[in-house]
Amino acid sequence: MARKYFGTDGIRGRVGEGNITPEFVLRLGWAVGKVLAKKPGDKVLIGKDTRISGYMFESALEAGLVAAGVDVRLLGPMPTPAIAYLTRTMKANAGIVISASHNPFNDNGIKFFSGSGCKLPDEVELAIEAQLEEPMSTLDSAHLGKVSRINDAPGRYIEFCKRAMPIGCSLDGLSIVVDCAHGATYQVGPQTLKELDARVITMGASPDGLNINKNVGSTAPDALQKRVVEEGADLGIAFDGDGDRVVFVDHRGEVVDGDELLFIIAQHELLKSGAVSGVVGTLMSNLGFELALKELEIPFARAKVGDRYVKELMESRGWTLGGENSGHIICSDITTTGDGIIAALKVLYAMVDSGHSLADLKSGMRKFPQIMQNVRVKPGSNIMESDELQRAVTSVEAELGGKGRVLLRPSGTEPVIRVMVEGECADTVSRLCAGLSQKVESLVA
């Protein structure tokens, strides 16, 4: 069944528009409470990133859940993966995250975790959507939910993250610039690394409700690249606004993206254990990543873009490592969802254990030039079915001669077609991507 409200990662949009209003979120909280909590004492956790609108939506969710008779535990600003972890370990019925991830401050969203710390199954999302169509009611006062705040949530999560490193493993001697995107990791990210003895230089850690992801974080690493070189640091780490993505910068100021980080983790696990069951990437994963894993005889499979699809394919294959080139990395041997801090610690352990620099560790993978352009289309456009567009794609593929890839896909979060071309020659890739994007634009005009 088609979803009316839920997208590929919860519900997201511009604050005050569509479903991102306090009125809708109030009803959403009530619907979630009716579907997920069935008896007195059932509880739901609520966490958020640092957007100014988070206060408003936190209150709305809280009121809706309480009206449905559900107890609420407030976590405050915490990374999305922390909420997944705490939902599981505190035996809550669900965890709710108020965040628009890497989007600017004037967007926000609501996403959910089940009691097991995983994304909600399709059938549960559909049940919540059905409940939203029912008239909202409030229980008798004697049966309303209760609300309390979990004050030690950051400490619990930091201790969990530190366990990703082997006992006795220290980051002493490493100088790390940490960019928190003025987002949810601004406390726990630097503190975790400090407690593991790293020398930490923090940036992007002064949230004011309006500056989340603004010229900082994993989607805007320029400032981090400059800072790493200026400080003479060993590396830099950039999280996104809600902490489920991470990219690195090596000591030369070069960005190390999600594909390269996955390669480093897989390569190290192969060295330590002698075998890696396999790695899941996406349709956007660099061809060089696939070829590098093939050289190591590590199986590789591509999922549709989106962490839920990566996780589904990992589970179906019985593999424990997967992710996206954006830096959304899932290490299911440790946790249930993409976690920027956990992934960062896996990479740091590879560095410390091997004695090699980040630049050395990524050198086993040669990235192919890859360019992506977004072409705006009308919502509901069926341009992907155009025969003329398919002929244009076939022509580009023929010119690449089997030594590259072409991918056109509609975005799951905005009305755009993403046009990606990848190949051996950067100039050729740039020319072909520009030409194909122009073809898309001409067809939607």
pLDDT at 411: 80
Token look-up 């990606």 returns: 420
Cβ contacts of 400-403, under 8 Å, gap ≥ 24: 400/428, 400/432
pLDDT at 242: 97
Mean pLDDT of 1-15: 83
Task: Give the rounded percent of residues in the chain with a pLDDT score beyond 70.
Answer: 99
The closest alpha carbon to 109, from 214, 241, 20, 211, belongs to 20
Q: Are 224 and 238 in contact (CB under 8 A)?
A: yes
pLDDT at 379: 76
Token output for 261: 């980080």
Q: Is the pLDDT score of 7 beyond 60? A: yes
Q: Is 444 exposed, middle or buried (0-12, 13-18, 19+ CB in 10 A)?
A: middle
d(CA 35, CA 94): 10
3-state DSSP assignment of residue 18: coil
pLDDT at 9: 78
Q: Which residue has the higher pLDDT, 210 or 376?
A: 210
Q: Is the pLDDT score of 390 beyond 70? A: yes
pLDDT at 363: 95
3-state DSSP assignment of residue 190: helix
Q: Reply yes or no on whether 273 is catalytic.
A: no
pLDDT at 122: 86
Q: What is the DSSP string of 26-44?
A: HHHHHHHHHHH--STT-EE
Q: Which amino acid belongs to residue 69?
A: G
d(CA 397, CA 407): 10
Token output for 157: 């999560």
Provide the mean pLDDT of the chain: 95
d(CA 265, CA 333): 12
pLDDT at 385: 86
pLDDT at 2: 67
pLDDT at 288: 95
Q: Which residues pair with 107 in a beta bridge?
A: 14
Q: Is 152 exposed, middle or buried (0-12, 13-18, 19+ CB in 10 A)?
A: exposed
Instruction: Please tell me the number of Cα atoms within 13 Å of 45 on its side-chain side.
Output: 33
Q: Are 278 and 388 in contact (CB under 8 A)?
A: no
- Express each pLDDT in 66-119 by its tens digit: 999 999 999 999 999 999 999 999 999 999 999 999 999 999 999 999 999 998
Mean pLDDT of 428-432: 96
Q: What is the DSSP string of 275-332?
A: ----EEEETTS-HHHHHHHHHTT--EEEE-SSHHHHHHHHHHHT--EEE-TTS-EEET
* pTM for the model: 0.92
Q: Is the pLDDT score of 325 beyond 80? A: yes
Q: What pairing do the DSSP bridges indicate for beta strands 43-48 and 71-77?
A: parallel
pLDDT at 377: 87
Which residues neighbour 390 within 8 Å (Cβ) at sequence distance 6 or greater? none
Q: Which amino acid belongs to residue 141?
A: S
- Cα pseudo-dihedral 63, 211, 337, 310, rounded to 10: 120
pLDDT at 382: 82
Which residues neighbour 327 within 8 Å (Cβ) at sequence distance 6 or greater? 218, 240, 245, 246, 247, 257, 258, 261, 340, 343
For 402, left (φ over 0), alpha (ψ -120 to 50), or beta? Answer: left
Q: Are 77 and 47 in contact (CB under 8 A)?
A: yes
- Express each pLDDT in 163-180 by its tens digit: 999 999 999 999 999 999
- Express each pLDDT in 226-283 by its tens digit: 999 999 999 999 999 999 999 999 999 999 999 999 999 999 999 999 999 999 999 9
Q: Please tell me which residue in 99, 101, 218, 285 is annotated as part of the active site.
A: 101
3-state DSSP assignment of residue 153: helix
Token output for 404: 């590259």
Token output for 240: 């996104």
Q: Give the pLDDT band (50/70/90) at residue 383.
A: confident
Q: What is the CA radius of gyration of the chain?
A: 22
Q: Is the pLDDT score of 1 beyond 70? A: no
Phi, psi of 78 (to 5 degrees): -150, 150
Q: Is the pLDDT score of 37 beyond 60? A: yes
Token output for 382: 């069926």
Which residues neighbour 297 within 8 Å (Cβ) at sequence distance 6 or greater? none
d(CA 324, CA 338): 10
d(CA 47, CA 61): 11
Token output for 4: 């009316």
Mean pLDDT of 208-217: 98
Please count the residues of the chain: 445
* Helix ranges restricted to H, 54-200: 54-67, 80-89, 122-132, 153-162, 188-195
- Express each pLDDT in 120-133 by its tens digit: 888 999 999 999 99
pLDDT at 268: 97
- Express each pLDDT in 327-382 by its tens digit: 999 999 999 999 999 999 999 999 999 999 999 999 999 999 999 999 998 877 78
